[in-house]
Amino acid sequence: MAIKLEISEEKEVYRSSYFPEYVRPKIYDPGLDETIKRLTPEKIEKAYQAVFGKETARIKAIVETCIHCGLCAEACQWYLSNDRDPTYAPVAKVKMTAWELMKRKGKVDAGLVYDIARIVFTECNICHRCSLYCPFGLDITFIIGLVRRFCFLLGVVPQRMFDQNQTFMATANQVWMSQSDYIDTLFWREEEGMYELKNLRIPMDKEGVEVVWFPLAAEPKTGPYHIDRIAKIFQVAGVDWTMVTMNDYWDSSNMPMFIRDFFTMQRIVKGLYENAARLRAKKLVLTE
């Protein structure tokens, strides 16, 4: 993967109208810059009511227990890497997103939605390291997830993430791979691997096996060598294993989870689960 440094050094600066200290390089992303033009105050309030309207005990417990001690800041790699800029601290991310929304009861304009979407989608990895260092063990990433859900309901999501979500809706994998392409790739890898290991087999839809292995969709698409490596390891170890090709649910990556599209997310998980249960597997091994 080649990255050009020249295009990445942004000269223009984005300044938030809500938070004077939030200054970032300007990065054009159609998913954020174009979609905020469609927003109306009614739409924003409706999405706010859907996500934060009930004010459940879990949200309240997290928001009201936090004492702003800032221990989470030292845990965040964004904060440490950006010369300890306080706007990158997890507590600041929550303050600028969920607290701001709850303080204003969802009556905000599109400018704030842009800031919020930028913070929750591009400055937090939901890695849970901050919760590990919180003296109360508050689940900060749960709040970030809720705000992601709020942004998803408004459609303000970075373009590539939304695009991948729609790919999942249409094909149940992230790379537009059809069933016939998938089966063809597995046959091809079996043929290639035979030169290195005698009688290499990639079993498909075998029942009563020890292991069902679900790849990442990028493996048959861009890294097919992973498939014959796994096949070689399993063959040498004498594992009775199989891959699933009988329907579209074989991709173990779940991108809808990241933007909190619960419907597509549960479709994927249910599909994988039912496939493994139908083959009566003892173990379900997802890819690395």
Residue with tokens 């009201």: 64
Is 286 a residue that touches another protein (CB under 8 A)? Answer: yes
The first and second tokens of residue 200, run together, are 């290499």
Is 23 a residue that touches another protein (CB under 8 A)? Answer: no
- The one-letter code for the residue type at 124 is C
Site for another protein in 33-62 (CB under 8 A): none
Is 285 a residue that touches another protein (CB under 8 A)? Answer: yes
Site for another protein in 122-141 (CB under 8 A): 122-129, 132
CB closer to another protein, 197 vs 204? 197
Residue with tokens 């537009």: 176
Residue with tokens 């294993």: 241
Site for another protein in 197-216 (CB under 8 A): 197-198, 211-213, 216
Site string for another protein, 55-94 (x = CB under 8 A): ----------------------xx-xxx-----x------
Site for another protein in 263-282 (CB under 8 A): 269-270, 273, 276-277, 281-282
Contacts to another protein by CB under 8 A? 1-3, 5, 8-10, 25, 27-29, 77-78, 80-82, 88, 121-129, 132, 158-161, 164, 194-198, 211-213, 216, 218-219, 226, 229-230, 232-233, 235-239, 253, 255, 258-259, 269-270, 273, 276-277, 281-288
